[in-house]
Amino acid sequence: MLLFMKKLVSVALLCFVAQSVVAQIQTLPLYTGTIPNSKPSSVQESSVTLPNGGVRISNVVQPTLTVFLPPSDKANGTAVVICPGGGYARLSIDHEGYDVAKRLNEMGVAAFVLKYRLPNDQSQPDKSIAPLLDAQQALRLVRQQANKFNISPSRVGLMGFSAGGHLASTAGTQFAQPAGQPTDKTTSVRPDFLVLMYPVISFTDSLKHAGSRTNLIGEQPTAAQIRLYSNETQVTAQTPPTFLVHAQDDATVPVMNSIVFYEALLRHKVPTEMHLYPRGGHGFGLKNNTTQEDWSASLQNWLGSNGWLKK
């Protein structure tokens, strides 16, 4: 009988732990009511699972935030909104989203994976602002619900990978006049810090990632559009402190994207830290297998040295 009771208690405890873990992860709609800059269309979201298990999402019509909260005893009040990459054509939602969110939770940081709308003429009147609208709304939503998530509204960062890094750096340099016509004009859309992983920064001919530029602003963009979305030209003294990671042999997004952004931050005296690897290519996510250095550990040190990991 005693053995039976012990097993029963163990099962109950496991169920409780499982429910607690599930309760820490939830998905929220980014908007309530009408989604701005959208129009009726036949576009439907699709998801593909690759042979290696990776998940790629495209044709996003209903943007969402998937919430990953750290255990309450580890939570320190800092939050990060994560923008996965995919060339503004798809989202690498797992290894540049969910996996990273879990790593941030280990640091005590609340993580919010943004499934943002990808540029699409069929479903958006102005495809060039759809991703930015969603990134700015994500920052608003996290700050508006700060008490619910046990975070500080003044400790909300924005993280982006590849084209998601372009989105994050756009949001980090173009917050003074939020995109569209927001109904909430009081909640700040300025990230408190930026984490940019092998980011697309520049849309100039010499540095661009062609797919990202074409998908966002078309095949024949104007000089003004190219400059607006070349974020190294948009840096000011108000740009948030930034952490950069890139590989020198990145054949998809040239490493000079990170370097020109770093140089612009230096010119404007914005605190910044950059980690460049000789090898690693593009899209390595949490683990660059060519080095024993762990960029997420370096990020943890950077966050800690700036006071964002203090409770």
Question: Is residue 221 domain-resident?
Answer: yes
Inside any domain, residue 38: no
pLDDT of residue 53: 87
Whether 275 is covered by a domain: the verdict is yes
Handedness of CA 213, 141, 285, 255 (dihedral sign): positive
In a domain, 1, yes or no: no
Is the pTM above the cut of 0.75?
Answer: yes
- Rounded CA-CA distance 100/98 in Å is 5
Q: How many domains does the chain have?
A: 1
pLDDT at 3: 46
Residue 133's CATH number: 3.40.50.1820
Per-residue model confidence (pLDDT) at position 14: 45
**What pLDDT tens digit does each residue of the chain (311 aa) get?**
444 444 444 444 444 444 444 446 899 999 998 999 999 999 999 999 999 889 999 999 999 999 999 999 999 999 999 999 999 999 999 999 999 999 999 999 999 999 999 999 999 999 999 999 999 999 999 999 999 999 999 999 999 999 999 999 999 999 999 999 888 889 999 999 999 999 999 999 999 999 999 999 999 999 999 999 999 999 999 999 999 999 999 999 999 999 999 999 999 999 999 999 999 999 999 999 999 999 999 999 999 999 999 99
DSSP collapsed to 3 states, the chain: CHHHHHHHHHHHHHHHHHHHHHHCEEEEECCCCCCCCCCCCCCCCEEEECCCCCEEEECCCCCEEEEECCCCCCCCCCEEEEECCCCCCCEECHHHHHHHHHHHHHCCCEEEEEECCCCCCCCCCCHHHHHHHHHHHHHHHHHHCHHHHCCCCCCEEEEEECHHHHHHHHHHHCCCCCCCCCCCCCCCCCCCCEEEECCCCCCCCCCCCHHHHHHHHCCCCCHHHHHHCCHHHCCCCCCCCEEEEEECCCCCCCCHHHHHHHHHHHHCCCCEEEEEECCCCCCCCCCCCCCCCCHHHHHHHHHHHCCCCCC
Give me the pLDDT at residue 30, please: 98
Assess if residue 115 is contained within a domain. Answer: yes
Show the domain range for 299: 43-179+186-303
Residue 265 lies in a domain: yes
Q: How far is CA 161 from CA 34, 246, 284, 287, in A?
A: 28, 10, 10, 13
User: 18 in a domain, yes or no?
Assistant: no
Residue 51 located in a structural domain:
yes
